[in-house]
């Protein structure tokens, strides 16, 4: 019985370490989706309801530029397609915008290839508690924008 006790402790520590590693890696970047989802204008707008901004909602908008940079850097590490989207977002939006991407998806809208972005945003002297939805053509032109 005394030999199994250290194994249980070791197994528990290993599971905690693995759980910490998995959650630690996903905390800074936006959710990236590239599954060929087909949206309509109504269905894409529902992402404003479902996208989770909680990981940045307590941050002041004055930190948005830094958080945006970290989010786009993290997105670039999620593969070639995500990296291309991050580059497009970098060239499309001003670097000092108050929007922090929390959800980014390659999809289609009514037959057109698009990039869907949900950002956490907020008032100039507030916190990142609002959401903004962008549906962009692959060249970065705005097809649809909504906020809440």
Q: Which domain holds residue 119?
A: 28-147
Residue 60's DSSP bridge partners are 127
As a whole number of angstroms, the distance between CA 48 and CA 87 comes to: 23
Residue 16 covered by a domain = no
Residue 18 covered by a domain = no
Residue 135 covered by a domain = yes
The answer to whether 71 touches 29, Cβ cutoff 8 Å, is yes
- The tens digit of pLDDT for each residue in 13-72 reads 333 333 333 333 335 689 999 999 999 999 999 999 999 999 999 999 999 999 999 999
Residue 40 three-state SS: coil
Q: Report how many domains make up the chain.
A: 1
As a whole number of angstroms, the distance between CA 66 and CA 95 comes to: 9
Model-level pTM? Answer: 0.80
Q: How far is CA 87 from the centre of its chain?
A: 14
Residue 23 covered by a domain = no
Residue 8 covered by a domain = no
């Amino acid at each position: 019985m005394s030999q199994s006790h250290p194994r249980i402790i070791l197994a528990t520590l290993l599971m905690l370490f693995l759980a910490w590693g998995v959650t630690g890696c996903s905390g800074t970047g936006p959710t990236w989706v590239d599954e060929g989802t087909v949206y309509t204008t109504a269905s894409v707008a529902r992402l404003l309801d479902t996208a989770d901004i909680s990981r940045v909602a307590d941050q002041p908008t004055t930190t948005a530029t830094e958080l945006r940079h970290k989010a786009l850097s993290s997105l670039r590490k999620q593969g070639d397609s995500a990296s291309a989207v991050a580059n497009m977002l970098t060239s499309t939006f001003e670097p000092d915008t108050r929007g922090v991407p929390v959800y980014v998806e390659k999809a289609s809208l009514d037959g057109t290839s698009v990039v869907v972005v949900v950002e956490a945003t907020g008032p100039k002297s507030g916190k990142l508690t609002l959401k903004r939805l962008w549906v962009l053509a692959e060249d970065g032109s705005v097809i649809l924008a909504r906020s809440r």
